[in-house]
Each structure stands twice: as structure tokens, then as C-alpha cells.
Amino acid sequence: MRPKIYQFGDFITESFGDGGWGASLANHFSRTVDVVLRGYSGYNKRLALKIVDRVFPGAESSGAAAPLAVTVFFGANDACLPDRYGAFQHVPLDEYKRNLHSIVASLKKRWPSTLILLITPPPIDEVQRIRHPYVENPLGLPERTNEAAGAFAKACVETAGECGISVVDLWTRMQHYPDWRNAFLSEIHLVVSEDVGVIYKTSLNFWCSLLFLFIFQYFVGYNCSDIVCY
């Protein structure tokens, strides 16, 4: 039976269309690892905490082997501003951290040997959020800002450190590249070296590095050789 990677997240994780994050990860690991999506459009950490114990198979279930890794990718909705049209999705920063701690604790209790990877919310292209609002926007202001997303990204990184697990600081790393905004506008092509296909013979540290590499190449479109796993 193939090992599994679970992806637990919001609308970004849910995207399984052509070129979507979920579809690309499944394609990359085809015939070696089963990628199982648990993506929920519109969800924030508050809602995620309510379902985390129900969306995964129980550790005691027959044949339910522990997954190789679980990615936790929320925060974009939590970071909606409380005085804009997306206020119903907003979660205060301190509650966001508490919820994230609780989700990690639940996953660790269920699967002690599984690699847990947190992914911060991505940066926000505020101009595009104004041009393409989800609903009518009488204020003419973005419901999310890059500054707010950065605060939640920092909280995610801090939480990973407190929990002793790995984190992808997507918000910071994407902005290292001048054309990072294109990641939201066009298909991102993957550049993955051939030798990463040797899946079964790798250690968890290599898995961590591999997932980091894949995540950044997907969202940024660069061969990021300087990615650090921590």
C-alpha cells in the first residue's frame, strides 16, 4: 500500500483544477504516494479546529496506517480585516495561534510519527483584491492586506517553533522574487530534479526538504536551492 500525504487547508488546498496546488502535488507524487486532499473553501482556523478530529481516519481504524506527512495550510481567511467585507472570516491573532496549537496537538496525538508541516498564508496582492472582489465592495478597499497576512504568517512560524515542527514561511519566501504576484495570475510550472523520485528510500528529513522544495517551486516558479528545513 502506498504511503499517504494529507493536505489540510482552505480554498488553496481545495484547488484541484488544472494547475491547482492539490492537483500538482498529486501529479508530482503519482505512483509513489497517495495525496489526500482535505480542503475547505472559506474555512479559517476556528472552523478547522471544529472538524480536525472528523476529517481524518482514526488511528485505530483497520488498515489506517499513519500518513507520511500532513500539511496544515490555513490563515488566508483568518487574516481578513475585521472592518471590511470579509469580516465574517476574521479570527483574532491570539485565537489563531491557540487554534493552530490545538490542531497540531490533535494531529500529533493521532499520529506521533507523522511529519507535520505548517504553511503560512501567502502574501496578498492588494491591487488584484480590489479589482476582483469576491462580492460587492462599496468601500473600494481590499478585504485583506499584505501587512495583515504577514502578521498571521509570523504567528504561524512562531507556533511551529513552539510545537517543534517544520514550517514553510510562504509569505516571506515568495516576496524574495520580484514577480511573485504572477503566482496568482498564471500557471506555475514545476522544476523538480529527477532524483527526487526515489521516495521509499528517503528519511523524514529528506521528505521535509522535498516538500519544502515542491511547495516553493509551485507557488513561485523558481528552483529554490536555498530553502531551509526548520
Q: Which DSSP string corresponds to 49-110? A: HHHTTTSS--TTSTT-PPPSEEEEE--TTTTS-TTSTTGGG---HHHHHHHHHHHHHHHHHH
- Please list, in sequence order, all residues whose beta carbon lies within 8 angstroms of the beta carbon of residue 23, skipping any fewer than 6 positions away: 15, 16, 17
| Structural domain range at position 90 | 4-220
SS3 38: strand
215 pLDDT band (50/70/90 cuts)? Answer: low
CATH of the domain at 127: 3.40.50.1110
Give yes or no for a contact between 208 and 215, defined as CB atoms under 8 angstroms apart.
Answer: no
Q: Which phi and psi (to 5°) does residue 186 adopt? A: -145, 165
pLDDT in tens, 111-166: 998 889 898 988 887 777 667 666 666 666 667 788 999 999 999 999 999 999 98
Domain count, the chain: 1
Asked, for residue 226, whether it belongs to a domain, the answer is no
**What per-residue confidence (pLDDT) applies to 229?**
41
What kind and span of H or E run contains 22?
Answer: helix 21-28
Q: How confident is the model over 45-94, as pLDDT tens digits?
A: 888 888 888 888 765 554 568 888 899 998 888 888 776 766 777 888 99
Indicate whether 5 pLDDT > 80.
yes
Q: Report yes or no on 225 lying in a domain.
A: no
Region 182-207: what's the mean pLDDT?
36
The pLDDT of residue 225 is above 60: no
